[in-house]
Homo-oligomer: A and B are copies of this chain.
Amino acid sequence: MEKGSKTGLSRRLYEEFRSRIADGTYVAGAVVPSTRALAVERGLSRATVSLVYEQLAADGFIETFPGAASRVVTGAAPATLVTKLSNPINEQAAASFMLGLSAIGERISTMALADWSPARTGEIDFVYGPLAGSDFPSLNWMKAVRAVERQRGRRLEYEDPLGNPDLRRELQAHLSLTRGLVCSIDQLMIVNGSQQALDLCARLLTDPGDVVVVENPGYRMAHHVFEAYGAALQCVDVDNHGLVTDQLDGLGTVRLAYVTPTHQFPLGSFLPIARRRQLLDWAALRKVWIIEDDYDSEYRYAVRPEETLQSLDARGCVIHIGTFSKTLSPQLRLGYLVLPKPLIKIFAAAKRLTDRHTATGVQRALALLLETGGYNRHVRRIRRLQQARQNALVKALDMHLGGQVEVQGAASGLHLVVWFRSLPANVEQLLVEAALQRGVRVYPISSLFNPCRPSWEKRQLAGLVMGYALLEPETIEIGVRHVAEALFAVREMICQAR
């Protein structure tokens, strides 16, 4: 208790200095108060203040000089240390010994990365991302896994960093048929989900300070990867036809653009051919790498899209990435890249240094699932299931909220965007909380804007990203009913506040 409160005081003082240095209150070279003066001023023991100064010196915020005042170190701001330890082995020792992180580490530690948290139960969860375990093709998968296990190789050794040859062969045929991708097997690389594809691209194609164009709103987990490697994000707006490519010409030097042209995340638009050409022409002229994230094209319920940026790209600046997280399971960690030929060798080397190759078992099982046609049958089946869920959601929204909401992105995917016509964006969080009180978890769209909603965006309305992959039609109907009640409650609150 005694020790705890003391630590608390030290910690607060430490944090105070750190943030004052960070926000520029204490500039480089500034003299900090003597330990004696500060101890008197704050009513702390001199030992406590000394300890804090030692820590600050150890962490490089201040420099101490024998017999002279301590000063703020040049370059100490912005201060970006990992939040200090809650309970290490030897708390004191470890705390004072926390060695420096790299620049990448520092950037990640100061990133507004939402914490990973385990699944909640007992809620109707309109989350986007997870799939229902019952949708997984368990029998066929198990059959494939068993067949693969029976044929273990004589040598268990590192595989080709580009991926299992059987899987790449099957995948090439599959992508050619279903996505019209024109690529050789060489150009295909298997990775641990599209997240690893993004990580490799960021690492191999961008340097700190480079400008990376991203969509606004967009997929934040991609943006964070580029930020981690030091890229400066340049947000380009998205309208009903996807990326507003007219904004590209006004940008300065750009190194890479990350786009979701088939099904813009989260707004759901398909980038029309004219904008695709504009994007590619701009990239060609300005020498910009383009990452085409084709994350859920299997779920196009109306006319299937055939065009990809990759197939329009004559210059080899497009890196096409895809995933099996939306059709099989995000827990398999299987995705792929279609690489321009000049990049094959360097990506293979980087993958090898990163983790040698993606685990063999799942790759071979998926190859078998593709080969036997089981995968295609599964996709057809799950597409129908998802469409039924989407229909239920659209219908429920119409029934319970008709006229009050505008639904976007119903042509494809595993989520919708729902705009609330007369609810301003700044009460979005109230709506989320009111829904949660009724046992329904919904997700605000504002968190996908970066840094905030663009000024041109007329619809400064509250919006939700509503995923439906986990829910059955009946549950969806109940969930939407509760959201409608939540909306009603929020409206009441607003009225009363006036």
Q: Using CB atoms and an 8 Å cutoff, list the residues of chain A in contact with chain B.
A: 14, 54-55, 57-61, 73-80, 82-91, 93-95, 97-105, 108-109, 111, 113, 116, 118-119, 127, 129-134, 136, 138, 141-142, 145-146, 149, 152-161, 182-184, 187, 191-193, 195-196, 199, 203-207, 210, 221, 224-225, 228-229, 255, 270-278, 280-281, 284, 287-289, 302-307, 311-317, 329-334, 340-343, 345-346, 348-350, 352-362, 470
Q: Are A203 and B60 in contact (CB under 8 A)?
A: no
Q: A83-B345, A85-B182 are in contact. Are A316 and B93 (CB under 8 A)?
A: yes
* Chain B positions within 8 Å of A133 at CB level: 152-156
Task: Please report the C-alpha to C-alpha distance between residue A341 and residue B87 in the assembled complex, in whole angstroms.
Answer: 7
Q: Are B353 and A221 in contact (CB under 8 A)?
A: yes
- Min distance, Cβ A128 to any Cβ of chain B, angstroms: 11
Q: Are B108 and A350 in contact (CB under 8 A)?
A: yes
5 A-B contacts (beta carbon < 8 Å): A60-B275, A89-B313, A158-B331, A195-B352, A361-B361
Q: Are B330 and A195 in contact (CB under 8 A)?
A: no
Q: Are B149 and A141 in contact (CB under 8 A)?
A: yes
* Chain B positions within 8 Å of A159 at CB level: 331
Q: Are A89 and B158 in contact (CB under 8 A)?
A: no
* Chain B positions within 8 Å of A54 at CB level: 303
- Min distance, Cβ A117 to any Cβ of chain B, angstroms: 9
Contact of A75 among B210, B277, B305 (CB under 8 A): B277
Q: Are B146 and A142 in contact (CB under 8 A)?
A: yes
Q: Are B355 and A331 in contact (CB under 8 A)?
A: no
* Chain B positions within 8 Å of A313 at CB level: 89
Q: Are B73 and A207 in contact (CB under 8 A)?
A: no
Q: Are A331 and B354 in contact (CB under 8 A)?
A: no
Q: Are A76 and B274 in contact (CB under 8 A)?
A: yes
Q: Are B88 and A184 in contact (CB under 8 A)?
A: yes
Task: Please report the C-alpha to C-alpha distance between residue A38 and residue B328 in the assembled complex, in whole angstroms.
Answer: 41
Task: Please report the C-alpha to C-alpha distance between residue A330 and residue B14 in the assembled complex, in whole angstroms.
Answer: 34
Contact of A160 among B77, B80, B116, B145 (CB under 8 A): B116
Q: A82-B345, A348-B116, A355-B192 are in contact. Are A273 and B76 (CB under 8 A)?
A: yes
* Chain B positions within 8 Å of A134 at CB level: 154
Q: Are B353 and A195 in contact (CB under 8 A)?
A: yes
